[in-house]
Structure 1
Amino acid sequence: MNDFLSHDLLADILTRAKKFGADAADAILLQGISQSVSQRLGNTEAIERSEDCKLALRVFIGCQEAAVSTTDFKKSVLNNMIERAIAMAKVAPKNSYAGLADSAQIANKWPYIEMFDKTELSVDNLIERAKSTEEAARAVHGITNSEGAQAQFTVSEITMAATNGFAGAYKQSSYSLGVAVIAAGTDQKMERDYDYSTKVFDEDLDKPADVGRRAGERAVRRLNPRPVKTCLVPVVMEPRVSCSMLNYLASAISGLAIARGTSFLKNSMNKQLFSEEIRIMDEPHRPRGFRSKPFDAEGLATSSRAMIDKGRLTSWILDLTTARQLGLNSTANAVRSSNGNIEPNVSNFYMTPGKVSPKQLINEVRQGLFVTDLMGTSVNLITGDYSQAAIGYWIDNGEITYPVSEITIGGHLEKMFTSIVPANDLTFQYGTDCPTILIDGLVVAGKGR
């Protein structure tokens, strides 16, 4: 479906929604193509391609709203969908904070953001990438089995329109490859680990040989883990797990949690949550960012924002509804699920790098834990209590030594935020990104005391 047909379809849907009784409405058309290949033990296991097109409609009758979606674009189906949405809205609970943006609030121009690579990879290319990634992982001495490798590319287009006059569209792309392998030690006990690379532009993707080698080395390094006694020590988290701290922060400062009073940070606006060197950004215009977007799901212009500046909390994460509840302005952080519902969430969310290297951070730790993976969760965002099963390595006199297992790390998120020291190794890999960090004074619960 081309751009003109997309806009024409949405305009027609909105016209019909008004004709059928809606006071206001907005709609989004999500179109995507995804191609992936899975490879295991030298054989191609699966070749998958999906071409999706989904329409989501949200209607308002006064302050009552309803959302519906469909993948069937026959006129009779669309008419039934509109009628169903209006019928649902009539019996929905009233919400005085619900509604579209005023016409003066909507974006009518936005910057160009580099976030779409038109490169479409062939099946043969994807097979070769997955094959090379797995071969590099299996070539690492000690690797005995593979859970498989995958290579994928995805392109998508988002088109939006609303009865308040907003209309806009943008395209996104992503390319990825990854592998998970198993190593066996002399006692035949096995350990598993993985590595992957995901980028918005294909040319930025890590080489298959590098991804595979890292996965293999990580799995072998985890062999023969030892238990540790319960203790209170500094914990260093590598980037693929340190970003979880930002995920918890984002959830705790979400307008939904703040408006409901269900966050341990509900009274923390302008409070010093981190050390003064910490800055945490929400940057929707970052070139080649995983969550870059020129406007949010309610048609508001997006902009970069320091959510934490010099350690202080400066803003909640807001859409229109939560902003109205709190008597504030939206931060243009509305995101829309495929069924049309809207809630606030971050875009490219990251902690700016510190001044010291990861090695320097670790060298400062006499006895502590270097965490490389987290499993499960028991994090209470109402109280801030934190507990997670972890995998990693013991730090002894500033050096990473032996692998450890069967441990849990615990603390309180607010105290953990205060003690974070970031390293200088920030890379953009996940959408929510954080450098290696040191957190002082966590309980590492192991076997014995």
Structure 2
Amino acid sequence: MASRPAVTGVNDAAHELAGEGGYLLNEPSHLKQIAQAATEQALRAGVDQAIASAKENGGITMRARGGNFDNATREGSQALSIKVFVGGRTGEASTSALSPMAVERAVERAILIAHQVEPDSDSAPPELAWLGTDAVDVPLFAPSGLTAQDLGRIALEIESAANDAADVRVIEAGASSIDACLALAIGRDFSGVYRTSRQSLWCSVIAERNGMMAQDMWSDIDRRVAGLAAADEVGAKAAQRATRKVGGRPLSTTTAPVLLDATVAATLVAEMASALMGTAQVEGATYWHDMLGKQAVAGHIDLVEDPFEPYGLTSKPYDHEGVAGTARHVIRGGVLEGYFLNCLNARKLGTRSTGNADGCNNLTLSSRNAIATSPELLRQLDTGLWVTEFLGGSADPVTGNYSKAVAGFWVENGEVAFPVQDTTIAGELPQMLKELVTVGGDVYRRGAFRSGSILLNSMRISGR
């Protein structure tokens, strides 16, 4: 993050306050012992296998409005969950207390529940060969050392930058720093523990001109403070985004190319990932059912997963079933190569878990025909709709029918003509993806997904 005079040189006292463990109260070894104790108790009670996870979160969130601190929150929580396997049956229970008595009661509840459900031969613990016993040591923990005062000054700086950039009303500016620790134990076969950090900056504003208003926001998230945008950049970007939207109007019904801005393109990547989840494949509830080895999208498209990306927002050494993922192509040259599977769905499909019990990890969509910059993408769009915001709608995971309310800009001859609102785009996902023109080099990361702007060949566009 670029230097900010108001918070440069976080003092030693702040670092001492957070300590090497950041905002966490428990040592990783202690959480690991709690998880191991839970599985040991379950095994002694006669279950076939048990999986326990003990987790702690801690951090500070500061919000500013009107030049003052609007809200300050010191966050802290802990929990244990236990899952037991008994004769093909499973039972789960959890507790927000980590005392020996609370853990003991959670284990007893899980066993009681297991004896009350129907058996499922596929509902079994992970195979020993699947466990991430040699898991990659992924760097995920970068405690900020920031105090509430430090975060408050950053929030005020964000708000000030928004007000300086344009005549806007700041709804909220904020900064947060959160640390977490997760311990996992699987019977007597596996145990592990790792810590993570997450830093966030955000700003939400309203712009007004000639009686017309528009609202927008900007945010940035990274595991490291050094990876964040400067506070003044976040505030200015929020103000600029809201200001340029003022005066938006609906489009007349037409058919035209659509450019999904990189900041919203992750929504489409998420729709793709949803179609490849194990449950959808097992139930046949997806437009990409049984498509392995077949052309699913345009031939220049790649979709890559990397669960071990250093400081990736969804990186992890293993999932909550103890299975490590792999860095892999999910789609290569438009051809589908893999699904996102947990242990249960993997067994039902006759294969092994891909380490995706927690969902997909750091997916990157790219094109071998990438266009580098936003101006070049607008020239490629020529005349069509540039979508910068999704406001609702749906994508049917079975049929692929796609309809979304959007806002953005109408583009003519590669130049922005006017802002657009109260407009809907519609199409069929299988066709949209096979006719996808390109993915830009203007890559933006949102959570588990990373993509540049996505240029779609043609969509139905309608206004009010």
TM value normalised by structure 2: 0.91
Alignment of 1:10-409 (within 5 A): 10-143=35-168, 145-163=169-187, 165-186=189-210, 188-335=211-358, 345-352=359-366, 354-356=369-371, 357-409=373-425
1:2 aligns with one of 4, 27, 30 = 27
Alpha-carbon distance in 2 for matches of 1:355, 1:7:
45
State the distance in 2 between where 1:415 and 1:26 align. 42
Q: Distance in 1 between matches of 2:63 and 2:193?
A: 32
Corresponding pairs, count: 436
Give me the whole-angstrom Cα distance separating, in 1, the residues matched to 2:208 and 2:31.
53
What secondary structure, in the 3-state scheme, does the structure 2 residue paired with 1:98 have? coil
Could you tell me how far 1:296 is from its partner in structure 2? 1.7
Q: Distance in 2 between matches of 1:12 and 1:228?
A: 62
Can you give the 5+ residue segments of structure 2 that lack an aligned partner in the other structure?
1-25
C-alpha separation in 1, matches of 2:81 and 2:278: 23
Q: Secondary structure at the match of 1:444?
A: strand
Compute the RMSD of aligned alpha carbons.
Answer: 1.4
What CA distance in whole angstroms lies between the structure 2 residues aligned with 1:83 and 1:34? 32
| Deviation, structure 1 residue 164 | 5.1
Amino acid at match of 2:328: R
Q: How far has the Cα of 1:391 moved from its partner?
A: 0.3
Cα deviation for residue 93 of structure 1 reads: 2.0
C-alpha distance in structure 1 between counterparts of 2:85 and 2:316, whole Å: 25
Equivalent residue of 1:279, what SS? strand
Structure 1 unaligned blocks of 5 or more: 336-344
Determine the C-alpha separation between the residues in 1 that align with 2:375 and 2:300.
19
**Distance in structure 1 (CA, Å) of the matches to 2:66 and 2:184:** 44
Question: 8 Å contact 1:199–1:429 — kept in the other structure?
Answer: no
Give 2:124's aligned amino acid.
G
Is the CA contact (8 Å cut-off) linking 1:277 and 1:311 kept in structure 2?
yes
The Cα offsets for residues 264-306 of structure 1, whole Å up to 9 and x where unpaired, read as 1113222212222211111101112001111122112221111
TM-fit CA distance, 1:395: 0.7
In structure 2, give the amino acid aligned to 1:415: Q
Q: Is the 8 A contact 1:100 1:164 kept in 2?
A: no
- Report runs of 4+ in structure 1 exceeding 4 Å deviation: none
User: Aligned partners of 2:227, 2:185: CA distance in 1, in Å?
Assistant: 33
Give me the whole-angstrom Cα distance separating, in 2, the residues matched to 1:371 and 1:393.
Answer: 7
Report percent identity of matched pairs. Answer: 27
Q: Aligned residue for 2:17?
A: none
Alpha-carbon offset, residue 79 of structure 1: 2.1
TM normalised by structure 1 equals 0.94
